[in-house]
Amino acid sequence: MNDATLPSSRIKNFPVAWFSMIMGFTGFSIAWMRAETVYDVGFAPSCVLRWVALGLFFLVAVLYAAKAVKYPGAVREEFTHPVKQAFGPTISIGMILLSIALLHDAPRLSFWLWSIGTVLHLALTLYVMSSWMHHTKYEITHMNPAWFIPVVGNILVPIAGLHHAPAEVSWFFYSVGLFFCPVLTAILFYRLIFHTSLPERFVPTLFIFIAPPAVGFISWYNLGGQVDAFAHVLYGVALFFALLLAVQANYFVRLKFFLSWWAYSFPLAALTIATLIMAKETGLGCYRVLGVVLLAVLTLLIVLLLVRTAIAVARREICVEGH
């Protein structure tokens, strides 16, 4: 391949999984927004972070739109692939997260991001689940925690949805996510215990196990306005998954860099936000301390991911065939 054809080939191999970076970075900006209210810090980095997140979204969206126009077959292949397909809804989830981040700064933009993102996510959820039900090629080894992505997006809808639409809309989406998350958890644990290990590039997606209960907690809190018994259960499950993965840290740090490393970011951001809510609502010092620790870890993680992603792009290690 010569240098003249390389840019074109990299657009063709530009994966939809790039939108997982938007999820992680936007979640990071929301975590800082929450921290600024809980700890009354003297500076507000989230004011910049959320707009940077929006800029990154448009950059990734433009590049993926260029791929869709020039290589529609490559996009079609992603959305019919038994593994890559699950990352399709990261597009709509990115929009929903941005609507949360911009809810107070730009309410009208937040409304349109939420409205388009929610409708698109419903369409993508129906498409992906229909594919699961009527497939002819899927095997248990194709399954990995990324399959949670279409489901978790539904649980996110109420956070901004309560400000943009009747509450019944939010309850509908929350109910869908709440029902299917335990179903997928059971199937995934069966796959992990009784079948071959995940391929190395998908090992980081194990962190996605943290997201359903953590996001479920945040939305439940927004729907009910308090940290009740069910909220404590959801938070406890999220914290347990985080501990389960933390004791395996030596295993994760040895992994080769893939774009799937961004799967570390959004679940950790969701747990950080949930912990900050617990700190504010319970007033307990243990949650305030844990919130600071998680925010620090999340910040270091985002910096690491940005640096490693930039290095990989410069070395042409991603957006290439088979990556």
Residues 6+ apart with CB under 8 A from 198: 144, 192, 205, 206
Residues 6+ apart with CB under 8 A from 221: 227, 231, 277, 281
Is 269 a domain residue?
A: yes
Is 142 a domain residue?
A: yes
> 179-232: per-residue pLDDT in tens?
999 999 999 999 999 988 888 889 999 999 999 999 999 999 999 989 999 999
Is 148 a domain residue?
A: yes
Banded pLDDT at 322 (limits 50, 70, 90): low
Is 122 a domain residue?
A: yes
| Domain extent for 63 | 6-314
The total domain count for the chain is 1
Using the predicted structure, report yes or no on whether residue 2 has a pLDDT greater than 50.
no
CB environment 54-88: b (16+ within 10 A), e (fewer): bebbeebbeebeebeeebeeebeebeeebbebbbb
Is 1 a domain residue?
A: no
pLDDT computed for residue 31 by the predictor: 96
Is 302 a domain residue?
A: yes
Q: Which secondary-structure segment (H or E) carries 8?
A: helix 6-12
> 218-237: per-residue pLDDT in tens?
999 999 989 999 999 999 99
C-alpha count within 13 angstroms, C-beta hemisphere, residue 125: 21
CA dist., res. 275 & res. 288, Å (int): 8
Is 89 a domain residue?
A: yes
pLDDT computed for residue 4 by the predictor: 41
* Amino acid identity, position 54: L
Is 247 a domain residue?
A: yes
pTM recorded for the entire structure:
0.93
* Amino acid identity, position 238: A
Contact 239, 208 (CB under 8 A): no
Using the predicted structure, report yes or no on whether residue 173 has a pLDDT greater than 80.
yes
> Domain of 243: which CATH number?
1.50.10.150
